Structure 1
Amino acid sequence: MTATDIAPATTGERASPASPVRRRRRLRAVGPAVLFLVVAAAAWQLMAVLLDSVLVPGVGDVGGELVEIVLDGSFAEHLGITVLRVALGFALAFVVAVAVGIAMGRNEFAQRFFEPAVLLGLTIPGLVWALLCVIWFGIGLANPVIAVALASAPALVLTIYQGVRSVDPDLLEMAHVYRFSGTTRLRRLWLPALAPSLFAGARLGLSLGWKVIVLVEVFGMSSGVGYQLNNAFAAQNVAAVLAWTLLFAVVMAVLEYGVLQGLERRVGRWRKVVSV
């Protein structure tokens, strides 16, 4: 008997115990979310049956509208427009927030100078930003981009500022003693230390940006998901309103679970996981 005859059996013996373990882990990770969706759908269907009103469509009616929106191409078309607006606005907010957040964390004068603006930005509702940007910038691309940036930037600045303040002073002193270059400090010290704050701020900023972009598109745009929601509302088509809302939520879930969490795990691989 040769080594090649033994190898497949050995590989199979090693792979078989691991496969059920992976399946159980996936079930534990996905199971609660799936259960929540099933319970929510069942509760909605029960409410629709009990109320028996056109204002509360059943799960089947909402599902039919959802399929129609996806198949006729309107969802992909308007979603692409909305995603582009959010991406540009969030990118603008992120660049500004990183600079301002680090400055606030490293300099007391900068902290006191920008603090009122951050607090004011956190208290202003997204509806106000949407209305003001529609008045100021009309229906051009600047309107949704600046509205998203104004709504997202304060939360991003705050999380980055807190991340800078939480960096270990001993690490900063070590970098100073060993005369690390600015590039080395950025790659080896600041980015790893600020990664949790950056991802937390990205989640919060994106959620605020999604909410504001819908308001902007409802009030002052002729395209996008918010525009379609407004059309469905004007026609009193509650099933279409719910269908667009669900599709919007699916996109957010894909962004969170498929993009942000994957990047966060990849960036944080160097961290030691301590099990008690």
Structure 2
Amino acid sequence: MPELARPLIRHRSPGRGAAGLLAIGRWLVKVAPAVAFCLLAIISWEVMARSLASPLVPGVGKIAGACESIVLSGEAFTQIGITLWRIALGFVLAFVLSLLVGISSARYDPVRVFFEPAILLGLTVPGLVWALLCVIWFGVSLATPVVSIALGITPALVLSVVQGIRGVDPDIIEMAHVYQLPRRTRLMKIWLPALVPSLLNGGRVAFSLAWKVIVLVEIFGLSDGVGYQINSQFSMQNVEGVIAWTLVFWLGMLLLEYAVFQVLDRRLTRWQRRASV
């Protein structure tokens, strides 16, 4: 038996290596457009900076030096952590409210009509207004960023929940009613799986909106965070500092997208891909 097994093992090894190379090739093809965009943006900015030769448009080297200084000093991790913590708290509050309002609005028309003006108001009011109002109401406290973020992103999350609920197949709902499935079973097996794609997409949009709101709050009413650092660099007319803090936080959000949202998307929507095969 060992003599028979050896040629089989030798035959399988090249196949595994080829599969690994194929996987690497697919990954490179997938990331190549994003890398090309970043390179094109860097080259275009450098060409513009050299053609203008203005201190208001610093070159790539100066911006990279400012980013390196922020990261190596550890200040980037501290300030990004503070900002992300505030965003997370506001996001949790908005998530709970959006589930309550969104599910009720999708299931009952009177509830939808009742909350519709508030949702439209929330979608049209700029984040600047929520930031200023919360600074006036709550002052320098944790409630200021949390409430302002919740007010700014809840309407978008509510719409995502409503779309997810309405996207459930009516035949499945009727079958659950015929078989008299318990509410817990309906929630765990029907409603939540149907909501996951909508909540993930809504979460991405909500995080981008939350970033815009939290920067305004930190500029007007707080003494730390990425927004405060951007405002501090702006007050010193340090353009590369403003751009550097923006890029550092963008890289943090990019890491969050690939390490959290896309991983959750692949795992939580695996059943959809299997069902479509």
Normalization by structure 1: what TM-score? Answer: 0.97
2:11 counterpart residue number: 10
Shift of 1:17: 2.0
2:265 counterpart residue number: 264
Question: What is the rounded CA distance, in whole Å, between the counterparts of 1:78 and 1:203 in structure 2?
Answer: 21
1:251 counterpart residue number: 252
1:81 counterpart residue number: 82
Shift of 1:16: 2.1
Q: Deviations over 1:199-222 (max 9, x none)?
A: 111111111001100110001100
Q: Deviations over 1:126-155 (max 9, x none)?
A: 010111110010010000010111101000
2:127 counterpart residue number: 126
Q: Deviations over 1:56-108 (max 9, x none)?
A: 00000000000000111111111111011000000000010011000000001
2:34 counterpart residue number: 33
Instruction: Give the match's secondary structure for 1:233.
Output: helix
Pairs within 5 Å for 1:36-115 = 36-115=37-116
Shift of 1:196: 1.3
Question: What is the rounded CA distance, in whole Å, between the counterparts of 1:210 and 1:52 in structure 2?
Answer: 31
Q: Deviations over 1:105-132 (max 9, x none)?
A: 0001000001110000000000101111
Greater Cα shift, 116-125 or 22-31: 22-31
2:162 corresponds to which letter in structure 1? Y
Shift of 1:7: 4.8
Greater Cα shift, 99-108 or 195-204: 195-204
1:218 counterpart residue number: 219
Aligned-pair Cα RMSD in Å:
1.3
Question: What is the rounded CA distance, in whole Å, between the counterparts of 2:228 and 2:3 in structure 1?
Answer: 69
Question: What is the rounded CA distance, in whole Å, between the counterparts of 2:248 and 2:8 in structure 1?
Answer: 48
1:248 corresponds to which letter in structure 2? F
Structure 1 residue 23 corresponds to structure 2 residue 27: no
Instruction: Give the match's secondary structure for 1:41.
Output: helix
Question: What is the rounded CA distance, in whole Å, between the counterparts of 1:13 and 1:95 in structure 2?
Answer: 51
2:242 counterpart residue number: 241
Question: What is the rounded CA distance, in whole Å, between the counterparts of 2:34 and 2:130 in structure 1?
Answer: 33
Question: What is the rounded CA distance, in whole Å, between the counterparts of 1:128 and 1:98 in structure 2?
Answer: 24
Question: What is the rounded CA distance, in whole Å, between the counterparts of 1:3 and 1:113 in structure 2?
Answer: 74
Question: What is the rounded CA distance, in whole Å, between the counterparts of 1:205 and 1:3 in structure 2?
Answer: 59
Shift of 1:193: 1.1
Question: What is the rounded CA distance, in whole Å, between the counterparts of 2:4 and 2:119 in structure 1?
Answer: 67
Question: What is the rounded CA distance, in whole Å, between the counterparts of 2:126 and 2:11 in structure 1?
Answer: 62
Structure 1 residue 165 corresponds to structure 2 residue 166: yes
Shift of 1:13: 2.4
Instruction: Give the match's secondary structure for 2:223.
Output: coil
Question: What is the rounded CA distance, in whole Å, between the counterparts of 1:170 and 1:227 in structure 2?
Answer: 52
Question: What is the rounded CA distance, in whole Å, between the counterparts of 1:8 and 1:225 in structure 2?
Answer: 55
Greater Cα shift, 42-51 or 201-210: 201-210
Structure 1 residue 138 corresponds to structure 2 residue 139: yes
Structure 2: gaps (5+ residues): none
Instruction: Give the match's secondary structure for 1:253.
Output: helix
1:222 corresponds to which letter in structure 2? S
Structure 1: gaps (5+ residues): none
Pairs within 5 Å for 1:175-190 = 175-190=176-191
1:81 corresponds to which letter in structure 2? I
1:213 corresponds to which letter in structure 2? I
